[in-house]
Amino acid sequence: MLYGVTDLLKRNQLSVTDSRKKILELFMRSDGALAHADIEHHSGTEFDRVTIYRTLQTFVEKGIIHTIPTSDNSVRYALCKDECSEGHHHDDHVHFMCDGCGTTYCLDHVTVPAIALPQGFLASQTDVVISGKCDKCG
Amino acid sequence: MLYGVTDLLKRNQLSVTDSRKKILELFMRSDGALAHADIEHHSGTEFDRVTIYRTLQTFVEKGIIHTIPTSDNSVRYALCKDECSEGHHHDDHVHFMCDGCGTTYCLDHVTVPAIALPQGFLASQTDVVISGKCDKCG
DNA sequence: TAAATTTTGCAACAATGTTGCATTAGTGTA
DNA sequence: TACACTAATGCAACATTGTTGCAAAATTTA
Ligand SMILES: [Mn+2]
Ligand SMILES: [Mn+2]
Ligand SMILES: [Zn+2]
Ligand SMILES: [Zn+2]
């Protein structure tokens, strides 16, 4: 696992630092998506808030994690699959936010449908976020 | 128009105040969705920031406006259609955010498709947010 | 190992959001 | 219309979230 993290960072031409390793491990260990605040709390006082912001930004740019839009002013982040790379995300799956436990799931096997837009509108990315009760909170 | 705003507030059992009227008029005049900051700027120093927060919250609760999730920590708000009422939103249309002009559109005639979820997951709301270029920025 | 490069932590700041409370404005009634 | 009652507003104070510049520390490269 440790090796996996280091390897992933190197594959993305990122220097291997403590914070990057720890934050990446946290993503790998966690069930659902993480908000900035989650990371700040889970990693204790280990890293500066600024470092976390910059790490998340770097990971998004490199295609290591992707963002999930929300209506509550707290963007969530989750690991990308292998197909994503620098500047080219391919996360075409549906996201689910449970009203019960608060978990945000990547439903990797539920793909976002194609949606016909009005004349002149050109889509570059489609986000589908469904909220409701998850299988544990049903 | 003024009468319409007053009427809408009364229909929702809300007292008719300056800030509510002005903010509602702003929504009616504007093409796309508005963020809190837009309202704060457009209405000048007319109202306290806190009043704007509380007004938006009230309007959402009453089903007068609905929220649009984003990935940039700035929830947008737009007018609901008539079918929405207190605690019961029925905004099943797709949203479009233009990368060019920044406008967020309610595509009222593009309905969100039904999406099959894994066993045990129960949907209560589905948000579809598409980004790309609008018909003016093609 | 040493130099070059990158990342980090800190400080300072800006923006955004929340709460309690006194004052003000709006509503229903006499 | 005037009054009492109720609801909304503005203000202050605070909490949270996000950004930038820069010196110190860590990592990479040679
Ligand atoms: Mn995902
Ligand atoms: Mn809408
Ligand atoms: Zn759940
Ligand atoms: Zn546009």
A77 close contact with B: CB closer than 8 A: no
Residues B107 and B117: their CA atoms lie apart, in Å, by: 24
Check CB contact under 8 Å for B113 and A117: no
Domain formed by B2-132, architecture: Orthogonal Bundle (1.10)
Mean pLDDT for all residues in chain B: 90
pLDDT band (50, 70, 90) for residue A1: very low
Cα-Cα-Cα-Cα dihedral sign, residues A90, A92, A97, A101: negative
pLDDT tens digits, one per residue of A16-68:
999 999 999 999 999 889 999 999 988 766 899 999 999 999 999 999 999 99
Mean predicted confidence (pLDDT) in B116-123? 97
Residues B80 and A54: their CA atoms lie apart, in Å, by: 37
Look up residue A124 and give its two tokens.
């570059």
In chain A, what are the domain boundaries?
A: 2-132
A117 close contact with B: CB closer than 8 A: yes
Specify whether the CB–CB gap between B95 and A125 falls below 8 A.
Answer: no
**Which bases of strand D have any atom within 7 Å of the beta carbon of a protein residue?**
7-13, 16-21, 26-28
Residue B128 with chain A: CB contacts under 8 Å: 115, 126-128
Cα end-to-end span (Å), chain B: 33
What letter would DSSP give residue B79? E
CB under 5 Å of ion ligand 2: residues: B 78, 106
Asked if residue B45 keeps its beta carbon closer than 7 A to nucleic acid strand D, the reply is no
Mean predicted confidence (pLDDT) in B82-111? 84
Residue A100 with chain B: CB contacts under 8 Å: none
Q: Could you tell me the pTM of the whole model?
A: 0.89
* Residue from A108, A121, A128 whose CB has the most chain B CBs within 10 Å, to mutate: A121
CB under 5 Å of ion ligand 4: residues: B 98, 100-101, 134, 136-137
Check CB contact under 8 Å for A138 and B128: no
* Residue from B67, B75, B121 whose CB has the most chain A CBs within 10 Å, to mutate: B121
Check CB contact under 8 Å for A72 and B75: yes
Dihedral angle, C-alpha A52, A9, B99, B71, nearest 10 °: -40
Specify whether the CB–CB gap between B91 and B80 falls below 8 A.
Answer: yes
pLDDT tens digits, one per residue of B59-72:
999 999 999 999 98
Residues B31 and B28: their CA atoms lie apart, in Å, by: 8
